[in-house]
A and B are shown apart, each in its own frame.
Chain A
Amino acid sequence: DVKVTQSSRYLVKRTGEKVFLECVQDMDHENMFWYRQDPGLGLRLIYFSYDVKMKEKGDIPEGYSVSREKKERFSLILESASTNQTSMYLCASSLRIGEQYFGPGTRLTVT
């Protein structure tokens, strides 16, 4: 079975802090994704990567950056956390069209 792990289930940070969210997948998938999930809005794509060191902006990249130095690891960075970035963050990886495998999520609270 594909396993996608995220470094933290819950995280509390202060406004202005730099935040790193880590995601690791163990199935050699080319593609990895970062979403944020908010009630009533579903999932919104922040960034995705289709290869090592390659990245593409999603629908809401503002305030975020990403890093993919190794195939199995995809990091989401909040350069200066703000309260409107309080959300559930989901990482996913995929090999086939639309078939994404998700991690358990990181619930981030920015105070």
Chain B
Amino acid sequence: AQSVTQLDSQVPVFEEAPVELRCNYSSSVSVYLFWYVQYPNQGLQLLLKYLSGSTLVKGINGFEAEFNKSQTSFHLRKPSVHISDTAEYFCAVIKGKTSYDKVIFGPGTSLSVIP
């Protein structure tokens, strides 16, 4: 069965420092990969996605992620974080080509940016 692992449940980081949120997935077939962000008291919002092509994907708010097929990873990075980046981040995977194929979400990583 498909699964998504987010190795860190909580990541504290100082403002303006770089951050990496780790994500690994299990799959023997091609997948589509996503990162979602959930700000306090809000629903989830799509941050970026990998469907095909370049393995380095850029998203909103200065985030980027790199797809590594050999390591089955899709880590999220930002070179300099802001207080406003404090949120819950979810990695997600989908195996399929229709818009209603199931999205499998990871358990989430809580990013806390310290002033």
Chain A residues whose C-beta falls within 8 Å of the C-beta of B100 in the assembled complex: 30-31, 48, 50, 56, 94
Contact of B34 among A30, A56, A98 (CB under 8 A): A98
Most buried by B among A97, A98, A100: A98
- Asked if A11 CB lies within 8 Å of chain B CBs, one says no
Write out the residue numbers on chain A whose beta carbons fall within 8 Å of the beta carbon of B97.
97
A61 at the interface (CB under 8 A from B): no
| B8 → chain A closest CB, angstroms | 13
Q: Which residue of A lies closest to B110 (CB)?
A: A39
| Interface flag for B51 (CB, 8 Å) | yes
Flag whether B57 is at the interface (Cβ < 8 A).
no
Q: Which residues of A contact B49 (CB under 8 A)?
A: 98-99
The one of A42, A48, A95, A99 that contacts B90, using a Cβ cutoff of 8 Å? A42
- CB neighbors of A among B74-115 (8 A): 90, 92, 94, 96-103, 105-108
**Pick the contact of A104 from B32, B43, B99 — CB < 8 Å?**
B43
Closest to B97 in A: A97
Interface residues of A (CB under 8 A from B): 4, 30-31, 40-43, 45, 48, 50, 56, 58, 90, 92, 94-105
**Chain B residues at the A interface, C-beta cutoff of 8 Å:** 4, 9, 32, 34, 41-46, 49, 51, 90, 92, 94, 96-103, 105-108
